[in-house]
A and B are shown apart, each in its own frame.
Chain A
Amino acid sequence: MTMLSWFSADLHIHTVLSPCAELDMGPVNIVKAARELKIDIIGITDHNAAGNVVAVRDRAGKEGPVVIPGMEVQTREEVHLLSFFPEVKQLQAFAAYIRERLPPVRNRPEIFGDQVVVNGGERILYFEEILLVNSVTASLGEVVKEVLARDGLVIPAHVDRGAYSILANLGFIPPALPVAALEIARPEKLPDLLLCYPAVGQYPFVSFSDAHTLSQLKGRFRTYFYLKQPNFTEIKKALQGEGGRKVVIRQGPGSD
C-alpha cells in the first residue's frame, strides 16, 4: 500500500501563449523555476488555449515537476474557470471545442502582447493569431459540461477578485454547478469572503500563483496536496477528501 505524502502544487501558471504573460515564461524557465522553488506539481493554464502544455511537459520530463494539463477558460459570462484533465489528449479535444467558440478577433501584439507557441526547447513554432483573452460564446454551464464529459474537473479562478470572477460576475456559485474547488487569490481575506458569501464555505479552497512572470512563481501562498501519487486523479480525490487525502493552503516563499 502506497503511503500518503505532501506535494506542493501551483496549478495556475501562464506561458508565453497568454498575451499578458512575459516572454520569459517559456518551458525552460518555468521548469527551472519550479524545481528551484520545489514545486512538485504545476498546472499550465493559458487563456482559452493549450498549445504550450506539451512543451512544458516535455521539458519537465522524468525529473519533474509533474505537469497537469489545463486551461483557463473565459466563459461568455466573463468568468475565469480553471479546467484540468487527466491526459493531454482530453485537453486537446477540449481546446478544439473552445477554439471553435472564440470570437474571430485578431490579436494585436502591440496592445495585448505576443501569443507564442513553442516546443520544449523554446523554439518558436508559431504565433497564435486569434486573440485569446476574450470570452468564448459558450456559457459557464456548457463549458463545465464539456470539461466533465472529458473526465476533467473545474475550479473557478480567483473568486475573490472584482473582475473575471464567478462571485463578482454571477453573484454566487450556482448551487448545482459541479465545481471541484474554488481558487482564492488572497487566502488571508477568506474570513471576509465567508461573511459576504457564507455558501462558499462548502467548497474546498486552493490558492495558486496565477503567474504571468517568473518572479510571481514564488507565490504569496502555496497549496499542498496530501496524496499517494502526484497526478490528476489523486488531486481530484484530495479535493473530495477521499481516503485521508486532503488539501491545505500555506504561506509561500513570495509572502512578505
Chain B
Amino acid sequence: MKLADVVRELELEVLAGPDLEREVTGGYVSDLLSVVMARAKAGQLWITLQGHQNIVAVAVLLELAGVIVAGGIEPDQETREKAEEEGINLFTTSLPVFEVAGRLYRLGARGIDHA
C-alpha cells in the first residue's frame, strides 16, 4: 500500500509529504527512539507520541516510509522544518496510537515479516 492510501484512509494531517507515493512495507510503534533505532526496518511507517526533532533523524537513518505523531501531540516547530529539509514524510492525527496501529493493520500493514 502507498502512503497516500494510508493518509486518505486514516485521515492523517500531512505536515511534510514529499513522497506520498512511497510504498509502506509495515508498521512500527515505540516512543523510545533508542529502541526504534535498533529495531525498526526500512519502509516501515512509525507511530509515536514523540514530537522532538530527533524523530526525523531516526527516520532518515532507517529510511522509514514516514512518521505519524499520534494522540493529538503537536510536533515541535523544528521537527516540521527538519522533515521538510530532510524529505521525510511527517503526519499527525488526533487518534490514539492504538487506534492508528489497529487501522493500519486492518489496511494490511504488518509489524513482522511472516505475520
Residues of A within 8 A of B (CB): 76-78, 139-141, 167-172, 174
Contact = CB atoms under 8 A, between A and B. Distances in A.
Given A168-B32, A169-B34, A170-B33, A139 B54 contact: no
Interface stretch (B11-19, B45-53, B105-113): B45-53
B52 A77 contact: yes
A169 B76 contact: no
21 contacts: A76-B51, A77-B50, A77-B51, A139-B51, A141-B52, A141-B53, A167-B34, A168-B34, A169-B31, A169-B32, A169-B33, A169-B50, A170-B33, A170-B54, A171-B34, A171-B36, A171-B54, A171-B58, A172-B33, A172-B54, A174-B53
B76 A141 contact: yes
B76 A171 contact: no
A78 B73 CA distance: 14
Interface size class of B (residues with CB under 8 A): 10 to 19
Contacts of A169: 31-34, 50
Interface string B43-71: 00000001111100110000000000000
A220 to B, nearest CB: 24
A76 B52 CA distance: 9
A145 B56 CA distance: 21
Interface in B2-45: 31-37
Given A139-B51, A170-B54, 14 more contacts: A78-B31, A140-B52, A141-B52, A168-B32, A168-B33, A169-B33, A169-B50, A170-B34, A171-B33, A171-B54, A171-B57, A171-B58, A172-B33, A174-B52
